[in-house]
């Protein structure tokens, strides 16, 4: 009730102050000498079907319209953000444009899954070293910058915080029945003692054959074992691929940190994981989790934190909490492997044009002045779980230092490169054996990316 009253009061205060904020908002300082001469600039995404503005916008939306109108008037430009292709074809639209540029001024917002081929073929202009933007500003997502940096050049950006991905849910009732105060998991997360060993100790305490018939009735965990394998690697300071000192992509899956994490995750999954029944579908774990016989659930944040329209856990009878995946013995902090959209500039323009496009995108993608709502990401998340899951776990996993990027995407999809013949087969072979078997395929892909 206290939280509800606080939220209502905050909403009333926000409504009362919104107009004042908007009136006091200061637009960015005008940079003299920037004039697009009335040209059109297109920002091609893969989800905006129409540029038509809302007939009755909210006050905040109207403020955004006003701000963007100011940008266009100030710099004598017409900006259009519109769909060009879909999730899988937008990158082909970019390739087609770079192959036969027609003079259009444009940027593309691409899914990170498809940046490898155009990057290997030099289709992206570099964002760094520009006079009109500073990539160290808080507007820019540093995890995306790290992901899109090759040989010292930044070939793509995104703004704001990352969307958290991997997390570890827990069933409060199951933990309590096992004698575990679930608040202690949050406490361990906070003081840095939420580790591989601590997690395994809890799994052992939870798992039980309650009626002594030789069949496990309460499992330590369920979920996506592939998600578990991947995040365990990065949580232990490992990776599957990396760059060497010469800026060339190399295989890192055979490193001690990676092999150690995979061996541990495989053993934990085989010992404590409720696994796919013989007649079960690939996503069997979603229903198994909601049935309430597993202590932990390895999945991604959207399963429990998405808005009510797409939330997968609304019909779950038990209450749940959520923490980051634990830190491995070689790791330094909690992490999740993020996957954010990337904005790129086609590598068909001269430096002056690239400078101007980067600058105008900086303005266009910035938060509307006067409406810099630091807590806007919370949405309705408090409706689904406890405060600590939102305030401590989700909030933390948005921050750059807790966001890892998997450069596997430079050479193919996660399923094709790391899933097929590798993580999907981890149950039947040792990690080292699978790395050795997969190396020729990986090396051929890497050689292509490296330009050999």
Q: Identify the domain containing residue 290 by its residue range.
A: 166-337+386-450
| Helix 59-74 vs helix 351-365: crossing angle, to nearest 10 | 160
In a domain, residue 5? The reply is no
Q: Is 90 exceeded by the pLDDT of residue 16? A: no
Confidence of residue 8 (pLDDT cuts 50, 70, 90): very low
Q: Residue 21's pLDDT is what?
A: 41
- Same-domain status, 273 and 296: yes
Query: How many structural domains comprise the chain?
Result: 2
Q: Is 80 exceeded by the pLDDT of residue 96? A: yes
The fraction of the chain above a pLDDT of 90, given in percent, is 89
- Same-domain status, 145 and 69: yes
Burial class (CB in 10 A: 0-12, 13-18, 19+), 297: buried
Confidence of residue 24 (pLDDT cuts 50, 70, 90): low
- Same-domain status, 137 and 247: no
- Same-domain status, 209 and 353: no
Conformation bin of residue 54: beta by default, left when phi > 0, alpha when psi is -120 to 50: beta
Q: What is the pLDDT of residues 307-336, one digit of tens each?
A: 999 999 999 999 999 999 999 999 999 999
- Same-domain status, 292 and 275: yes
Q: What is the pLDDT of residues 345-396, one digit of tens each?
A: 999 999 999 999 999 999 999 999 998 778 889 999 999 999 999 999 999 9
User: Which helix (H) or strand (E) segment is 295 a member of?
Assistant: strand 294-300
- Same-domain status, 180 and 240: yes
In a domain, residue 12? The reply is no
Q: Residue 33's pLDDT is what?
A: 94
The CATH number assigned to the domain holding 328 equals 3.40.190.10
In a domain, residue 16? The reply is no
Rounded to whole angstroms, how far apart are CA atoms 397 and 385?
16
- Same-domain status, 83 and 154: yes
- Same-domain status, 131 and 224: no
- Same-domain status, 209 and 297: yes
Confidence of residue 14 (pLDDT cuts 50, 70, 90): very low
Structure tokens at 132: 């009109």
- Same-domain status, 127 and 177: no
- Same-domain status, 85 and 131: yes
Confidence of residue 291 (pLDDT cuts 50, 70, 90): very high
**What DSSP designation does 1 have?**
-
């Amino acid at each position: 009730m206290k939280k509800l009253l606080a939220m209502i009061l905050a909403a009333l205060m926000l409504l009362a102050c919104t107009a004042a904020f908007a009136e006091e908002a200061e637009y960015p300082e005008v940079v003299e000498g920037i004039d697009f001469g009335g040209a059109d600039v297109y920002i091609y995404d893969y989800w905006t079907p129409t540029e038509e503005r809302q007939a009755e916008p909210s006050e905040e939306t109207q403020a955004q319209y006003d701000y963007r109108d100011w940008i266009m008037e100030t710099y004598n430009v017409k900006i259009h953000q519109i769909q060009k292709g879909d999730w899988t074809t937008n990158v082909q639209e970019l390739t087609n444009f770079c192959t036969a540029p027609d003079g259009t001024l444009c940027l593309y917002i691409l899914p990170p899954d498809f940046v490898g081929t155009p990057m290997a073929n030099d289709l992206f202009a570099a964002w760094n070293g520009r006079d009109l933007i500073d990539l160290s500003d808080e507007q820019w997502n540093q995890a995306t910058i790290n992901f899109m940096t090759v040989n010292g050049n930044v070939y793509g950006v995104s703004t704001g915080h990352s969307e958290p991905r991997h997390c570890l849910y827990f069933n409060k009732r199951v933990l309590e029945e096992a004698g575990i105060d679930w608040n202690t998991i949050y406490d361990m997360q906070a003081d840095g003692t939420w580790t591989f060993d601590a997690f395994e100790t809890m799994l052992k305490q939870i798992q039980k054959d309650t009626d002594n018939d030789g069949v496990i009735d309460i499992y330590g965990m369920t979920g996506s074992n592939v998600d578990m394998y991947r995040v365990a690697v990065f949580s232990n300071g490992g990776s599957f691929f990396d760059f060497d000192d010469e800026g060339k992509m190399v295989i890192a899956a055979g490193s001690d940190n990676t092999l150690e994490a995979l061996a541990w995750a495989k053993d934990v999954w085989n010992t404590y994981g409720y696994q796919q029944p013989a007649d079960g579908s690939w996503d069997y774990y979603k229903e198994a989790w909601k049935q309430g016989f597993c202590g932990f659930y390895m999945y991604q944040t959207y399963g429990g934190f998405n808005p009510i329209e797409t939330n997968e856990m609304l019909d779950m009878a038990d209450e749940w909490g959520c923490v980051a995946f634990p830190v491995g013995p070689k790791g330094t902090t909690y992490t999740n492997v993020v996957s954010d959209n990337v904005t790129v500039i086609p590598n068909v323009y001269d430096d002056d044009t690239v400078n101007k496009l980067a600058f105008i995108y900086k303005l266009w993608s910035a938060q509307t002045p006067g409406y810099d709502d630091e807590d806007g990401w919370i949405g309705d998340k408090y409706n689904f779980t406890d405060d600590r899951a939102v305030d401590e776990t989700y909030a933390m996993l948005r921050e750059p230092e807790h966001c890892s990027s998997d450069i596997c995407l430079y050479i193919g999809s996660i399923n094709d490169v790391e899933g097929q013949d590798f993580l999907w087969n981890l149950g039947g072979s040792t990690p080292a054996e699978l790395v050795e078997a997969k190396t020729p395929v990986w090396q051929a892909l890497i050689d292509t990316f490296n330009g050999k």
